[in-house]
Amino acid sequence: MAGPLAGVPLAVVGGDRRELELVRALAAGGAKVRAVGLPAADIPGVEQSASLVEALAGARAVVAPMAGTDHAGRVATPLVPEADLRLDDAFMAALGTAVPLFIGTLKPAVARAAAAHRVRVVELAAVDEIAIANSVPTAEGAVQIAMERLPVTIHGCAALVVGFGRCGTTLGRLLAAMGARVGVAARRPAELARAEEMGLMSWPWAALPEAVAEQDVIFNTVPAPVLSRGVLRRTRPDVLIVDIASAPGGTDFQAAQELGRSAVLALGLPGKVAPVTAGRILARYVPELIRTELERL
């Protein structure tokens, strides 16, 4: 069945199994897809490109990975490790103002290059519908890490969720459903009210040092330095900290190591624990996002 991008030439640059699912959906909907840094040659309707320049030729929009790039702009290509694709100044100049770029998140250097050439960028990780849908595999992945590392069951354990946005809310609900004694530490009164409405214990932000004191496991969702050395000192020696905030996380990992606390930074969980589901989420929402951007031209 023809989709909203039937006949539209698109370039997909790098990615993992999530992007493979997206490519399948785009091609099935009739888009003319060229892929580079992604093993998509066996997908009907997809043309495998040998270079970035070849993939970009004639493309009306470009999709880069949810995993984004490194700080130098090198695209994540785990399925084609030898690929060396960079979202650099030359890449942005090729896009210009007429070809929008869709990517998980932008590193500062990539953002500067995009701004210099006035490239229209949609950061997919910030799109509410994608972020909310992705909060499910993120929460499941975080709990999986806790189950593998804790010496006790989730049922009955004391679990603190730091931050109560999209991921924090889903995580708190999942932990409570598994029988954990869940607390929430958040800045906004509305978030604390939501936690209480869900039957969870709420801690105002100023009480974070007290909130961490008797927890078996702490899940941080705040992408800012919140679990500082001073806060970590208040935790139990056997605590587990699972930080799912975007890099570099919100935990002082050096302090955690020096204090003997077990802490793990768990990035990109949807692509690791449920890549097909995460890819289907992209397939559900990205085509319409692309169509909307192209209509603005």
Inter-residue contact 5 to 55 (CB < 8 Å): no
Task: Report the share of the chain in percent with pLDDT over 90.
Answer: 97
Q: Are strands 46-48 and 240-243 parallel, antiparallel or unpaired?
A: unpaired
Three-state SS at 256: helix
- Per-residue pLDDT, 247: 86
Residues 6 or more apart whose CB falls under 8 angstroms from that of 236 comprise 213, 214, 215, 216
Query: Is residue 297 pLDDT above 80, yes or no?
Result: no
Mean pLDDT of 184-208: 97
Mean pLDDT of 138-148: 98
Average pLDDT, the chain: 96
- Per-residue pLDDT, 37: 97
- Per-residue pLDDT, 219: 98
Q: Using CB atoms within 10 A of its CB, is residue 257 exposed (0-12), middle (13-18) or buried (19+)? A: exposed
Q: pLDDT per residue over 86-125, tens digit each?
A: 999 999 999 999 999 999 999 999 999 999 999 999 999 9
Give residue 66's Cα distance to chain centre. Answer: 7
Mean pLDDT of 39-44: 93
Task: Identify the CA nearest to 18 among candidates 231, 213, 268.
Answer: 268
- Per-residue pLDDT, 287: 97
Three-state SS at 38: coil
**Amino acid present at 167:** C
Confidence of residue 23 (pLDDT cuts 50, 70, 90): very high
Confidence of residue 3 (pLDDT cuts 50, 70, 90): confident
Confidence of residue 2 (pLDDT cuts 50, 70, 90): confident
Query: Is residue 1 pLDDT above 80, yes or no?
Result: no
- Per-residue pLDDT, 110: 96
**Amino acid present at 220:** N
Query: What backbone phi and psi angles, to 5 degrees, belong to 276?
Result: -70, -45
Inter-residue contact 12 to 33 (CB < 8 Å): yes
Q: pLDDT per residue over 153-186, tens digit each?
A: 999 999 999 999 999 999 999 999 999 999 999 9
What's the rounded Cα separation, in Å, for the pair 277 and 274?
5
What's the rounded Cα separation, in Å, for the pair 167 and 135?
5
Task: Identify the CA nearest to 221 among candidates 271, 291, 269.
Answer: 269
Mean pLDDT of 215-225: 97
Q: Please state, in angstroms and as integers, the Cα–Cα distance from residue 110 to each residue in 2, 81, 84, 192, following that order.
A: 34, 21, 15, 36
Region of residue 202 (left: phi > 0; alpha: psi -120 to 50; beta: else): beta
